[in-house]
Amino acid sequence: MIPAKFDYVRPSSVGDAVSALVGGGEDAKVIAGGQSLLPLLRLRLAYPELLVDIGGLDELRGVTDGGDHLLIGARTTHYQLVHDPLITEHCGLLAQAAGTVADPAVRHRGTLGGSIAHADPAGDLPAVVLALDATMITAGPAGSREIPAGEFFVDYLTTALAPGEILTGIRVPKLSADWGYRYEKFHRTAQAWAIVGVAALVRRSDGHVAEARVGLTNMGSVPIRAAAVETAAAGAQASPEALREAAAGADEGTQPPADLHGAPDYRRHLARVLTGRALEAAAGV
């Protein structure tokens, strides 16, 4: 657990951070809470020559009410997501999912932006922001950009962030009170990554599902929206049987990985079962 040598800067503004990142080129990496990058450094799986530590940029931390949306600073920790009253009120799914990330030590240091920018498909929050239809806000040499979550995750550990670009915040539309939610995480130990996770949002109307959104964790190289489930659930009766039936297509279009904790066919099965459970919980049935 001995990292290779690297240079380190801790800029005091987003502009300086972007300049440092641009200056460092391909061998520069942003570090925030360090909960994803540091293990890679210590295992010598990553060899950046420059770390740009955005830990001093307090403007990237915290939650602001933007009227019909919340703006969440990229450096907001998992712990803050769990405990912030605005998040709990307007997008409780994020708080619930953040509460399942690893252990308390990780949740106090790890950040929302770090989890999104690292883009590990086994991470919990990418599938959640995908289900929430969130928008990623970036700062780069060419100014600021807004990237919808659906376009942000490009491949395994790869995002739409351009060279020199930093994720500064995430804009999440507020959900009205008729939305229910559930993050169903399946893992072997409390600290372990999800074998499969399902982030479900359901809007109910007159005993039916008016609208459902489902994001899947660890069912491919990127977080995935379970489109077949969303279509099948829309208009379905809000009953366990109907929702389980809608969940039967949860693994359509997925390419789940194989590892020690599960072969692809087992993950497909889990996705169906867990999606049913998540929809039931989100629909309150």
Residue from 158, 191, 205, 231 touching other proteins (CB under 8 A): that is: 191
d(CA 217, CA 254): 11
Q: Quick one: which segment of 79-87, 186-194, 200-208, 234-242 binds other proteins (CB under 8 A)?
A: 186-194
Q: Is residue 193 involved in binding other proteins (CB under 8 A)?
A: yes
Q: Cβ of residue 219: shortest distance to other proteins, in angstroms? A: 15
Going by C-alpha positions, the residue among 13, 62, 42 that lies closest to residue 166 is: 13
Query: 227-246: which residues touch other proteins (CB under 8 A)?
Result: none
* Interacting residue with other proteins among 50, 106, 234, 273 (CB under 8 A): 273
Q: Which of 222, 204, 201, 247 is nearest to 90 (CA)?
A: 201
- Find the binder of other proteins among 29, 90, 118, 261 (CB under 8 A): 261
Nearer to other proteins, 177 or 190 (CB): 190
Q: Residue 269 corresponds to which tokens in the numbers above?
A: 């099965």
5/26 with CB nearer other proteins: 5
Q: Cα–Cα distance between 258 and 264 in angstroms, integer?
A: 5
Interface positions, 4-33, toward other proteins (CB under 8 A): 4-5
When asked if residue 266 is in the footprint of other proteins (CB under 8 A), the reply is yes
Q: In the chain, at which residue ranges do the beta strands (DSSP E only) sit?
A: 7-9, 28-31, 50-53, 63-65, 69-73, 135-140, 143-148, 153-155, 158-159, 166-173, 179-186, 196-205, 208-217, 224-225
Residue from 66, 188, 227, 255 binding other proteins (CB under 8 A): 188
Residues 195-224 within binding reach of other proteins (CB under 8 A):
195
Using CB under 8 A as the binding rule, the residues of this chain from 54 to 83 that contact other proteins are none
Which string of b and e fits 51-86 if b means at least 16 CB within 10 Å? bbbbbebeebbebeeeeebbbbbbbbbbbbbbebeb
264 binds other proteins (CB under 8 A): yes
Question: Among residues 27, 231, 259, 284, which is the contact residue for other proteins, using CB under 8 A?
Answer: 259
33 vs 140 by CB, closer to other proteins? 33
Q: Which residue has the tokens 């693994």?
A: 251
Closest by CA to 36, choosing from 93, 136, 87, 112, is: 112
> Should residue 269 be labelled a site residue for other proteins when binding is judged by CB under 8 A?
yes
Judged by the rule CB under 8 A, the positions of this chain that interact with other proteins are: 1-2, 4-5, 43, 103, 186, 188-193, 195, 258-266, 269-270, 273-274
